[in-house]
Amino acid sequence: MIDLEPIMISGKEVYPLIEGGKGINASDGRSAGAWAHENCVGTFSGVSPDFYDAKGNVIVEKFMKRIRPERHEEMIDYAIRGGVAQAQVAHEVSGGNGRVHMNMLWEMADSERIIEGVLEKAKGLINGLTCGAGLPYHLGELASKFGVYYYPIVSSARAFQVLWKRAYSNFQEFLGGVVYEDPWLAGGHNGLSNAEDPNQPQSPYMRLVELRKALRALNLDNIPIIIAGGVWRLDEWKDYINNPDIGKVAFQFGTRPMITKESPISDAWKKLMLQVKKGDVILQRFSPTGFFSSAIKNTFLEKLMNRKDGEIAFKTEADNEYTQPLKMSETKTVYIKAEDMEKANRQLNAGLSVIQETPDNTVVFMTPEDWKQMKQDRAECVGCLSQCQFSTWSRAKGTTGKLPDPRSYCIHKTLYDVGHNGSIMDNLVFAGHQVYRFATDPLYRDGIPSVKELIEMIKQGK
Ligand SMILES: Cc1cc2nc3c(=O)[nH]c(=O)nc-3n(C[C@H](O)[C@H](O)[C@H](O)COP(=O)(O)O)c2cc1C
Ligand code: SF4
């Protein structure tokens, strides 16, 4: 057994065990409610959550409006309806136990409107709000307005200090905790800063000690640190529990709860996760948000990795170095280095006959089918992000003013699809780097456990 005393989270004494929020539809009211039911904390995702018709069937998102700003409004309307629906489900399933949190991707366009819309209509059903991917400055103010606790997700003490100084110091009462998410190990988007090397993972220990020091310096010693990213068995975290240098902690599980009876992901997705091998999760930077993220290497990711590998630098005018003409279209020729000619020809000969420019003075190669799909995805954009590198949509300005990046993809389309029984090979499948442990973990030998069974195991340290 692990010495896990209940602690105060979002105004109630609960076990310091949390299911992390996972969009789109990879954690919902059913899974969050099941965690809360066990006197722990469940987090449903507020990113395009499901909502239901009068018979209780999921209404699959359909965007009817012709222009993007109007589709964007449809998306917000759906997100608010979905957030309220999932809060209701979570509350019912919890039986009033534990705590229910909602997670929001801060980089979503109009995330503040969505949060506000949900909190207004789901009063009393949501106890906490977690927010990552970006620096959620307004989170404190927004949550405090509704008397809801808030939990910024950070990957360093420095990020929290910035948030505190610029925004949270005025909203101390409802700061429920700080989620420290390991930027090298966690599933989903990862908060690696420019100063950190994606290939040089650091142990969380000293980073957590630093975070606690920073909290103490701000008189926030009572605030729990929620450790996320790479948490599987708690007997591996004994040194972090009741450790005066780290202080009060809770643990957030993202990947492990995905294979439970209550987890909303498809059976095919669960099956894939049971078979993943060490090294099959890739930390990469293809997300249209510009953040790093961690996902399972499948057909979808391999295509992006190959496209990136085939990338070639060019200039619009020939010079001593860029000597070789490369015809991009009937009207446009660029110049590449002689040493890249073979790389270009290899791709052209393999049928990657469409050449597209990136915002970094490089070109990439793709098949006509992939190019057609890319154009369609851009045309169907619903403006889900505040700034999108794939489509150049910008909520504030209409466009980012940059070239659309063909090394990226529409994250809304692919996550919605995989979250609704879509292909697990042709979509982005987020997962933490420990996902390979499912294959050897005895808990999954005799089938899929319930959330209750998983939590029992976690409490035993296993
Ligand atoms: C499929 C998947 C989707 C995720 N989506 C989100 C998200 O929308 N917002 C967020 O803040 N974190 C998201 N996360 C991160 C989790 O909430 C959690 O912090 C993380 O997975 C913990 O690391 P672990 O995967 O090693 O357990 C996601 C993780 C996964 C695996
Ligand atoms: S193209 Fe970009 S902004 Fe538009 S829906 Fe897709 S990910 Fe969102």
Q: Do 111 and 256 belong together in one domain?
A: yes
- Do residues 365 and 309 touch, judged by C-beta distance below 8 A? no
Q: Do 256 and 171 belong together in one domain?
A: yes
Contacts of 393 (CB under 8 A, 6+ apart): 68, 109, 381, 383, 385, 387, 399, 400
Q: Domains in the chain: how many in total?
A: 2
Is residue 292 domain-resident?
A: no
Is residue 235 domain-resident?
A: yes
> Exposure of 268 by Cβ count < 10 A (0-12 exposed, 13-18 middle, 19+ buried)?
middle
- The residue segments making up the domain with residue 103 are 7-267+438-459
Phi-psi category of residue 72: left, alpha or beta, with phi > 0 → left and psi -120 to 50 → alpha: alpha
Q: Do 200 and 341 belong together in one domain?
A: no
Query: Measuring from atom 20 of ligand 1, which residue has the nearest CA?
Result: 254
Q: Do 47 and 151 belong together in one domain?
A: yes
Is residue 294 domain-resident?
A: no
Q: Do 444 and 373 belong together in one domain?
A: no
Taking the CA of residue 229 as reference, the ligand 1 atom at the shortest distance is: 23
- Of 385, 386, 427, the residue with max ligand 2 atoms within 8 A of its CB, to mutate for a pocket test, comes to 385
Q: Do 129 and 61 belong together in one domain?
A: yes
Q: Which residues pair with 284 in a beta bridge?
A: 293
Q: Do 263 and 368 belong together in one domain?
A: no
- Do residues 198 and 292 touch, judged by C-beta distance below 8 A? yes
Neighbours of 62 (CB within 10 A): 7
Whole-model pTM: value is: 0.97
Two structure tokens written together for 423: 């292909």
Q: Of 140, 133, 233, nearest to 183 (Cα)?
A: 133
Q: Do 326 and 231 belong together in one domain?
A: no
* pLDDT value at residue 375: 98
Beta strands in 36-173 (DSSP E): 41-45, 99-105, 128-132, 149-154
> How many A from CA of 283 to the centre of ligand 2?
21
- Of 107, 430, 437, 458, the residue with max ligand 1 atoms within 8 A of its CB, to mutate for a pocket test, comes to 430
Q: Do 400 and 452 belong together in one domain?
A: no
Q: Of 301, 299, 240, 281, nearest to 434 (Cα)?
A: 281
* pLDDT value at residue 324: 98
* pLDDT value at residue 2: 81
393 lines ligand 2 (CB under 6 A): yes
Is residue 432 domain-resident?
A: no
* pLDDT value at residue 79: 97
The C-alpha atoms of residue 304 and residue 288 are separated, in whole angstroms, by: 12
Q: How far from the centroid of its chain's Cα atoms is residue 59's Cα?
A: 23
- In which element (H, E) is residue 336 found? strand 333-336
Q: Do 402 and 446 belong together in one domain?
A: no
Taking the CA of residue 413 as reference, the ligand 2 atom at the shortest distance is: 6
Q: Do 16 and 110 belong together in one domain?
A: yes
Q: Which amino acid is at 356?
A: Q
Q: Do 210 and 346 belong together in one domain?
A: no
Is residue 417 domain-resident?
A: no
**Local confidence pLDDT in tens for the 462 residues of the chain:** 788 899 999 999 999 999 999 999 999 999 999 999 999 999 999 999 999 999 999 999 999 999 999 999 999 999 999 999 999 999 999 999 999 999 999 888 999 999 999 999 999 999 999 998 778 899 999 999 999 999 999 999 999 999 999 999 999 999 999 999 999 999 999 999 888 999 999 999 999 999 999 999 999 999 999 999 999 999 999 999 999 999 999 999 999 999 999 999 999 999 999 999 999 999 999 999 999 999 999 999 999 999 999 999 999 999 999 999 999 999 999 999 999 999 999 999 999 999 999 999 999 999 999 999 999 999 999 999 999 999 999 999 989 999 999 999 999 999 999 999 999 999 999 999 999 999 999 999 999 999 999 999 999 999
Neighbours of 246 (CB within 10 A): 20
Q: Of 310, 316, 323, 278, nearest to 296 (Cα)?
A: 278
Is residue 274 domain-resident?
A: no
- Do residues 375 and 409 touch, judged by C-beta distance below 8 A? no
The C-alpha atoms of residue 238 and residue 439 are separated, in whole angstroms, by: 24
Is residue 52 domain-resident?
A: yes
> How many A from CA of 110 to the centre of ligand 2?
13
Is residue 285 domain-resident?
A: no
Tell me the chain's radius of gyration from C-alpha atoms.
23
- Do residues 161 and 214 touch, judged by C-beta distance below 8 A? yes
**Residue 128 belongs to domain with CATH number:** 3.20.20.70
Query: Measuring from atom 8 of ligand 2, which residue has the nearest CA?
Result: 384
* pLDDT value at residue 133: 72
